[in-house]
Amino acid sequence: MILTQLIADIAVAVPLKQLFSYQIPADLNDAVQVGMRVKIPFGHRVTMGFVCAIREGQSSDLKCIGELLDEEVILTPELIRLLRWAAEYYCYPIGQVIRTALPAGLGNEKQTTKIQMEPHYQPLNHDIVPRGKLQRELLQYIVEQKTVALNQLRQRFASPHAALKRLVEIGALAVCEREFIHDPFRTECLPEDKILTLNKAQTEAVSKINKVISNQVFSGFLLHGVTGSGKTEVYLHVVEQCLQAERQALILVPEIALTPQLVARFRARFESRGCKIAILHSGLSAIERYDAWREILRNKIQIVIGVRSAVFAPLPNLGLIVVDEEHESSYKQGEGFRYNARDLALVRGQQQSCPVLLGSATPSLSSYYRSEQGGLTRLSLNKRVHGGDLPQVELLDLREQVIEGSLSNVLVEAIQQALESREQILLLLNRRGFAPFLLCTDCGGSFHCPNCDITLTYHQQSRQLRCHYCDYTDVVPEQCNKCHGLNIEPQGAGTERLEQELIELFPSATIVRMDRDTTSRKGAHHKITSQMLAGKIDILVGTQMIAKGHDFPGVSLVGVLGADSILNFPDFRSGERSFSLFTQVAGRAGRTSGGGRVLIQSYNPDHYALSCAAEQDYQDFYQQEIPFREELGYPPYGHLVNLVFSGNQPPQVKAAAHQFGHYLTDMAHSVEVLGPSPCPLSRLRGRSRYQILLKSTDRSALRRLLNYLDGGIKQLPRQVNLSIDVDPIEML
């Protein structure tokens, strides 16, 4: 007779989609809980697994769980539900999905991040009166506070260690070890809050969202507000309503560069009221992310602010999700588990019965289309909060302009005028480095990455050639590899070259560059934005990270260079990306005083994406762009899945892709199978790449075809890898 046992369904971080069942030993019946990590025998090794479900069953041949790795759960039931949904939707193994969602200290099999302990002092005997002045002051402070951490005492008293040791020796204090929680705000002063009066449009938006928060039901909102219309103040007001309802709020931003200013606004508004805020992004150390995750799990955090991965924050009592700059492609993970945080935010809102607020001055076409169809409630903010005009945007036709290096004479004169008026300038060039490539003018040869199908970018400051895809670097050669000529010249311009040109043109100006090269160190984003707000920077040069979300009151002039490289990018979304980026960066000008001036340099100023951006007219752009999408069956009218095959042997990869293409074509109904064809980047990190694009206006037909993928995957050679990108954004 087989007795009923407790069985755990466990996710293992291996490339297999199913859960694995293990028997729970009798001595662990009361200890094992859903959301814990356990050690399990798996094949010929012992590995880590995540308990996703516990059930009763009868089985005599199941292996047993070895041991527990946690004393408390690290995954809430709500989060497990979301992760299992995401694993199925994005066709990715559940164990690897969970590992991606967890901070490094919890997701790795070998845990490198340790919980740190810190001494805490508390009064033991109130009758003891110490002799020394410092001892008396320390004791009085600790009595008032009841329990005080050593780090807190260090900040208040100079060299307290000897006095504390003596107080413990005489029995006045007791000392115990408690967890030390790393707080990234520990050394920062609390910013000053500026509560702004809401205008009519803001008030109406807040009222509609607050009603849903109070009812604790799901509803999707699209907050479409022009740049400078006060979307952040709307976020602050609805988060306040969420906190009053004793629920938690999750705020997503697309990039680390946007977190300092947004975090400062939220800290100023809520921390003085005793609300705890956690931030989650890759700019934190591993231990900071680890501690933040555990504090969120323990329900000690009311507001979480973070980038893409923060959508997995283990908030058990979620009452509101805000997705700022929802149009940004950086919400989509580009490798491995290719999820879209914006879309998962909407799914999580449905699962946890809370509203989701998507905000943008330039909504993605998919979100705007959903609002047109009634899937999202659109809330409009059509005017800037200060009542001023939107900036004046001028399109400079480079065919008719005199160019000095990267800058037209008109833009140079405008910069000079702004500097004389002591106003700040933003210059956008969405290409980092000094030049996109070096060219031998004798034979026309250039220098390519040995691992990727791309030229190496020249970085003059570090005297390196660098691949921005695989991080390969090489020294700058003195002669051409092909003809041995000495005439090697940089071609084109990146932010580094533009910075140098500006230094030569305006030697007395303070010029700072903001791109991935200058912001790699911790705190670099915050330092640059703080300097801009303090008026210590005259000209800020940068890539797209300067274009989004920043509120720099002193900026009156914005210049856009290299617009055509974005506009002519071989992608059906290039027009949407161009309109969005140019409208966003234009919105940095004149945010306080109104107006401002924006100059966009282009060889194709008649393109509708540019003309609509110049007029800040989203509706006009939408009406011109959406018919193309409908005609070609691209999102939002159609749905895409990109299949990328990669391997070290090009013929083998090509053959496997073609075989897989025939397999899918036989299975496909109401789905177009396009390809296989070489990827635009046909070789990346040393691997040859082919792709097949699946396209359909019927999502259910596409999902049915995806169910057949496993059969084709089993036929692939071991040396060929297949990555599945559901709802792709980049298809390079």
Q: What is the pTM of this model?
A: 0.88
- pLDDT band at residue 1 under the 50/70/90 scheme: very low
Whether 3 shows a pLDDT value over 70: the answer reads no
Residue 721 is predicted with a pLDDT of 93
Encoded amino acid at 260, one letter: P
Structure tokens at 318: 């979620």
Alpha carbon distances (Å) from 89 to 122, 426, 523, 629: 52, 41, 36, 23
Q: Which residues pair with 305 in a beta bridge?
A: 251, 279
CATH code where residue 575 lies = 3.40.50.300
Q: At 126, is the pLDDT very low, low, confident or very high (cuts 50, 70, 90)?
A: confident
Averaged over 476-504, what is the pLDDT?
A: 89
Looking up residue 44, the CATH number of its domain turns out to be 3.40.1440.60
Q: d(Cα 171, Cα 235) in Å, to the nearest integer?
A: 51
591 pLDDT above the threshold of 70: no
Q: What is the pLDDT at residue 307?
A: 92
702 in a domain, yes or no? yes
The three-state secondary structure class of 509 is coil
d(CA 8, CA 240): 40
In a domain, 315, yes or no: yes
- Tell me, what's the pLDDT at 274? 82
User: In the predicted model, what is the mean pLDDT of residues 618-638?
Assistant: 93
Asked whether residue 86 falls in the same domain as residue 27, the answer is yes
Within-domain flag for 83: yes
One domain, residues 126 and 98: no
Residue 480 domain-assigned (yes or no) = no
Do 262 and 374 reside in the same domain of the chain?
A: yes
Neighbours of 695 (CB within 10 A): 18
Within 10 angstroms of residue 37's Cβ, the number of other Cβ atoms is 22
Count the domains in the chain: 5
CA distances from 543 to 67, 250, 395, 429, 515 (A): 49, 27, 19, 5, 6
* The pLDDT value given to residue 284: 76
- Do both 137 and 209 map to the same domain? no
Q: At 555, is the secondary structure helix, strand, or coil?
A: strand
pLDDT digits (tens, 9 = 90+) for 706-716: 988 888 888 89
Is 717 inside a domain boundary?
A: yes
Q: Is residue 276 part of a domain?
A: yes
Q: Is residue 695 over pLDDT 80?
A: yes
DSSP E strand stretches across 486-611: 488-491, 511-514, 539-542, 555-561, 597-602
Task: Give the CA count within 13 Å in the CB-facing half-sphere of 244.
Answer: 11
pLDDT score of 78:
94
- What's the pLDDT at 112? 54
Task: State whether 276 and 403 are in the same domain.
Answer: no
pLDDT given for residue 117 in this prediction: 74
Does residue 530 lie within any of the structural domains? yes
Q: Three-state secondary structure along 102-129?
A: CCHHHHCCCCCCCCCEEEEEEECCCCCC
Question: Are residues 517 and 407 located together in one domain of the fold?
Answer: yes
CA distances from 627 to 372, 607, 639 (A): 14, 16, 16
pLDDT digits (tens, 9 = 90+) for 438-449: 988 888 888 999
Question: Quick one: pLDDT band at residue 124, thresholds 50, 70, 90?
Answer: confident
Nearest to 93 by CA among 102, 84, 106: 84
pLDDT average, residue stretch 722-732: 91
Residue 239 and residue 282 in one domain = yes
* Average of per-residue pLDDT across 513-539: 86
Domain end marker among 582, 602, 628: 628
**Which of 347, 381, 415 is the last residue in one of the domains?**
381
> What pLDDT was estimated at residue 388?
66
The per-residue pLDDT for 559 is: 93
H or E element: which one contains 22? strand 20-23
The candidate with the shortest Cα–Cα distance to 728, out of 653, 599, 624, 642, is 642
Is residue 732 in a domain?
no
* 529 CB-contact burial (10 Å; exposed 0-12 / middle 13-18 / buried 19+): buried
pLDDT at 301 over 70: yes
Are the C-beta atoms of residues 69 and 38 closer than 8 Å to each other? Answer: yes
Domain of 522, in residue numbers: 392-434+493-628
Question: 427 with 498: CB under 8 angstroms?
Answer: yes
| Cα→Cα distances 513→457, 469, 541, 599, Å | 17, 21, 5, 19
Average pLDDT, the chain: 88
If asked whether residues 684 and 543 sit together in one domain, one would say: no
Is the same domain home to 396 and 519? yes
Give the domain CATH number at 141. 1.10.10.10
Predicted local distance difference test score (pLDDT) of residue 451: 92
Structure tokens given for 267: 């800290």
**How many other CB atoms sit within 10 Å of the CB of residue 643?**
25
Indicate whether 663 and 624 sit together in one domain.
Answer: no
Over the stretch 540-565, which tens digit does the pLDDT of each residue have?
Answer: 999 888 877 677 888 889 999 988 88
Looking at 381, 409, 425, the residue that finishes a domain is: 381
Give the helix ranges, DSSP H, for 160-224.
161-169, 200-215
What tens digit of pLDDT does each residue of 312-336 get?
Answer: 999 989 999 999 999 999 999 988 9
Secondary structure element (H or E) that encloses residue 222, with its range: strand 220-225
- Do 213 and 312 share a domain, yes or no? yes
- The more confidently predicted of residues 641 and 485 is 641
pLDDT at 191 over 90: no
Judgement on whether residues 329 and 269 belong to the same structural domain of the protein: yes
